[in-house]
Structure 1
């Protein structure tokens, strides 16, 4: 009988010690190095990104925004055909933050934006659509890196079909006084898997002087295609332009652009200096 009591007492002591050890064991915490940072306060769910912020950050990550902005400038050759006619051909050079731009056209005329003014060189060159060309095509090229610029406003929308695949979409608008055309808007299409920017519907209100009814009645869309990597950063080398409606999506094809010779530069030199024999384009 004494042996039985001793055995039971020993089992009881061992069991208690084991329970104390279990109480001191903490769950292992693993760090997800690829997780998108969240706001410390003020987000949805005590720090989580809002749906629209997550949409933006996912696109920026897919297009490697941080790596892109580490470079000082980027240049590329562009050829644009619209409505069956050549609209623009030449070399574009821009700072990666879009604060300075230069376009050397095939006809040897130049457009230069030095951060304050747009210059046309030579002064007697054709200035039709000069300011539009200065900012529109570079904005399309840099769009994946412009989504969180100051003055941008976002509204998530229903998924839309592109190439028979449902894509997440969101509408981008701008605060008053933002850029040359704050009344413009874009509907951004993001790939459901890669999260890259695949297309954008848009209106062009530049020069409308506040009357946006014509632009609103005729939205267009750009479809980004044939991506290639330069320094591991993806770029679309073919753009296609279409009519667009909210109900049907892309309709008739209107034009296309080819992008080639994408090159990063680390020193701007005198590329964006005010040129001689030029005039300012308002």
Structure 2
């Protein structure tokens, strides 16, 4: 497991009976904080800019098509703005604001953070409440990619039965494949995995995040074969250390 060493300076004042003076003694105490992810995944996070950089960031924004996605990375509140609708999560409830009824086609509760999860890979897989299991590698076009499976505690998020499999390049440690199950609608575990190809990256204030992702078809064993549809493209990405006001994520009052 990956470990972080924290050096703490402790100042101890010692009183002497026979002397009015106080002796100041300094001791160095080493506190060990153990991260909850395996060493290999720690290297994946480092290849993408590092956990410290991720955790020191406050707000992420990116554009997908006509949608501008903005996310509070700590509270995980978010807003998706487009010309005909706005979807938001204020920390308690998901809301929808449309220019005309029916302008948004889909389920806001399912969609509001869907592409944030895909875009913020691999860092969202360092969240609390995740268990990690080393799994059999996959091979694509002659390259073998090691991987880990992630599962969630029952109290984690709205779809704790979802599972993810992350596969990384054995030389660069950059993430290249993501397999995932979708259980939001059924609320039941599933062994049917969809597969996304990563590999086109953009440096966003020190974090290496995708500029596009592509869903792939798979064979009977779950190994990717060919693209299933055109890539989803992300542009205009920014990361800020400055928080946004809660009102930004609130549903507009009309």
Q: TM-score, normalised by structure 2?
A: 0.77
Contact 2:3/2:35, CA 8 A, preserved across alignment? no
Per-residue CA shift, 1:58-105, capped at 9, x if unaligned?
1221222321332220111113xxxxxxxxx41101122361111012
The aligned residue for residue 37 of structure 1 is: 3
Contact 2:162/2:183, CA 8 A, preserved across alignment? yes
Q: Which runs of 4+ in 1 moved over 6 A?
A: none
**Per residue, is there more helix in 1 or in 2?**
1
Bigger relative contact order, structure 1 or 2, given CA contacts below 8 A and separation 6+? 1
SS in 2 for 1:93: strand
1:222 and 2:219 correspond:
no
Contact 1:52/1:170, CA 8 A, preserved across alignment? no
Per-residue deviation, 1:164: 2.3
1:178 and 2:164 correspond:
no
Report 1:149-168 matches (<5 A): 149-168=127-146
SS in 1 for 2:161: coil
The aligned residue for residue 91 of structure 2 is: 115
How many correspondences in the alignment?
Answer: 221
Structure 2, gaps ≥5 residues long:
7-31
> What root-mean-square deviation, in Å, do the aligned CA atoms of Structure 1 and Structure 2 show?
2.7
The aligned residue for residue 54 of structure 1 is: 39
**Counterpart-to-counterpart distance in 2, 1:120 and 1:170:** 35
1:262 and 2:225 correspond:
no
**Counterpart-to-counterpart distance in 2, 1:175 and 1:246:** 29
1:251 and 2:236 correspond:
no
**Counterpart-to-counterpart distance in 1, 2:5 and 2:153:** 22
**Per residue, is there more strand in 1 or in 2?**
2
The aligned residue for residue 97 of structure 1 is: 74
Compare CA radii of gyration and give the structure with the larger one: 1
Contact 2:145/2:169, CA 8 A, preserved across alignment? yes
